[in-house]
Copies of this chain bind each other. A is one copy, B any other.
Amino acid sequence: MAHSGSGARAKLLDSDEQNKSKGISSMIRILLTGLCFLFLRPTCSSGSKILVVPVDGSHWVNMEVLLQELHTRGHNITVLRSAKSWYIPSNSSIYTSINVPMLEDESDRNYYNKMLLDVMECRRAPSFMRTFCQQHLITSMLEKGHKILARAAAKMLDDPVFIKRLQDAEFDLMLTDPALTLGVILGSYLKLPMVFNVRWINSGEGHLTIAPSPVSYVPVSGSELDDQMTFLERIKNMLHHLHSAVEYHVLVNPAYSDLFQRHFPPGTDLLSLQYAADIWLVRTNFVFEFPRPTMPNVVYIGGFQCKKARPLSDELEAFMQSSGEHGVVVMSLGTIVSALPPEVTESIAAAFARLPQKVVWRFEGEKPSSLGNNTLLLKWLPQKDLLGHPKTRAFVAHGGTNGMYEAIYHGVPVLGLPLLFDQFDNVHRLKVRGAARVVEAKSLTKENFLEALKDILETPSYRNNIQRLSQLHHDQPMSPMDTAIFWIEYVIRNKGAAHLQSAGFSLPWYSYYCVDVAAVFMALIGAFVWASVLICRILCCRRSRRKNKVKSH
């Protein structure tokens, strides 16, 4: 609080100079920030220097929304991006970028189209095995990915000029998405306060990094379970938990061991770097996620990227209106998979053709032969604005977290068509709340897709349930975006938030789990039993000796 006064104001001027964003909007910003200083001092830390290490693809979509808001509040943002990035532009009015030669393989978009075929094969396995088969695919990807990341991190830390440049910039904060490890490693190396913008929490869904997560009711990511598990499901969840622990120790962490040895104090591992996060901004909340324990440095900001719908273009608005009372179905499968297998595409198109509704479909590639007149294919669509349109009746989605929150925000029921990664977990969350149906690509036919679509469109409970979720989602003390900004600025103002971090982090595992204490208790009980037996024996011996003596007399 104390240092958010004149010093911070001077920093604000610095940042404005650097951004060179002049004119009226900049004037208004300075004025607002000034007012903010006068009336709301504790909540302002404008003009700070924030280093951002984002993740490409859909993760960037939400990180960018956050950066826009931080920029509006006068912060000076530097983004570290791969020179080959798909999504993260090198030139932006809201940040300065630094190109780094990292993630050489992520730019291969066909990689995920190929992966989809493997996942579809996996999903044909028996129900219990399916998630493990899929996890195995992810493990292989992780193995490769972490090696690439470790090389990229080593390249950075081994480059004294690059590191000097970052050190000289005197950043106030590292804001990163820990789905990739580069930001975590770099932030720890530069000893910067750290804020994570994160969807999933690794290692058994965060038992160690976040809070104790009883396997009996906290489903591990990838398990496709919820918090009400049968006995068999609890066994499955435990296996996923153990798998994730083994994966971390055998595969993920060892990829970095050389790097840690060379650049960090002895005993450093990936978990210990994650412990250093001051605040975890988690992109869910308990309208969507199942209730679970969390430490005080975890803040839920689910749906922070959602906004009220803006008007559509004239053409699109005319298309929406042409749907009449039947309304419109919106379909989008996100950023990662660019093409479904042709037979799946044909079935979907044929099913759509049978609907009285109109359909807007975000689509790349060759036009399906079975496409109906009611279906509009678009390479890109204003998803948020379409979901908020009063004519929209259902959302056919792959189940990315961003899309799920937009559906919740606007109260639109979902037909989930999960393809990869957490998408199966995400659509399951809406399904158990009666707000979604799920159809899988591996078994999708024109008939079952149409049946599910009609169910979603005609059964009122789906709409009622998602609107109940929407109502709860909007019923928060503060908007998720304001919450996110507050905690980012909190960490900057207070130079960290160590007082919110778990003391469990500093304990070795045997102390954390009280194994040492239990051992002492067992030893004491053992000693007591042994001593009791010994005393009994001695007493018995004496008695029998006495008896013998009596007899012998």
Residues of A within 8 A of B (CB): 1-2, 42-43, 211-217, 227-228, 231, 234-235, 238, 286-287, 290-297, 300, 471-472, 474-475, 477-478, 482-483, 486-487, 490, 493-494, 499-504, 506-507, 511-514, 516-517, 520-521
Nearest-neighbor residue (CB-CB) of A498 within chain B: B291
Interchain CB contact (< 8 A) of A217 among B474, B477, B503:
B503
Cβ contact within 8 Å between A2 and B471? yes
What would 11 A/B residue contacts be, using CB atoms closer than 8 Å? A1-B474, A211-B293, A212-B293, A215-B517, A227-B503, A231-B516, A286-B499, A291-B502, A294-B294, A472-B499, A477-B486
Interchain CB contact (< 8 A) of A215 among B234, B293, B514:
B514
Shortest Cβ distance from A473 into chain B, in angstroms? 11
A243 to B160, CA, bound (A): 57
Nearest-neighbor residue (CB-CB) of A504 within chain B: B217
A478 to B517, CA, bound (A): 41
Cβ contact within 8 Å between B291 and A293? no
- For A482, the chain B residues whose CB sits under 8 A away are 477
Shortest Cβ distance from A293 into chain B, in angstroms? 4
Cβ contact within 8 Å between A286 and B517? no
Nearest-neighbor residue (CB-CB) of A212 within chain B: B212
A235 to B500, CA, bound (A): 24
- For A300, the chain B residues whose CB sits under 8 A away are 296
Cβ contact within 8 Å between B477 and A494? no
Cβ contact within 8 Å between B474 and A290? no
Cβ contact within 8 Å between B286 and A291? no
Cβ contact within 8 Å between B293 and A511? no
A503 to B291, CA, bound (A): 7
Give the interface centre of A482, A513, A517 by most chain B CB atoms within 10 Å.
Answer: A517
- For A296, the chain B residues whose CB sits under 8 A away are 286, 291-292, 294, 300
- For A471, the chain B residues whose CB sits under 8 A away are 1-2
Interchain CB contact (< 8 A) of A514 among B214, B504, B506:
B214
- For A290, the chain B residues whose CB sits under 8 A away are 503
A166 to B112, CA, bound (A): 62
Shortest Cβ distance from A541 into chain B, in angstroms? 35
A136 to B231, CA, bound (A): 40
Cβ contact within 8 Å between A287 and B511? no
Cβ contact within 8 Å between B234 and A291? no
Interchain CB contact (< 8 A) of A511 among B213, B216, B500, B512:
B216
Nearest-neighbor residue (CB-CB) of A470 within chain B: B1
Cβ contact within 8 Å between A517 and B238? yes
Shortest Cβ distance from A285 into chain B, in angstroms? 8
- For A478, the chain B residues whose CB sits under 8 A away are 477-478
A134 to B196, CA, bound (A): 44
- For A287, the chain B residues whose CB sits under 8 A away are 499
Shortest Cβ distance from A180 into chain B, in angstroms? 27
Cβ contact within 8 Å between B1 and A475? yes
Cβ contact within 8 Å between B293 and A42? no
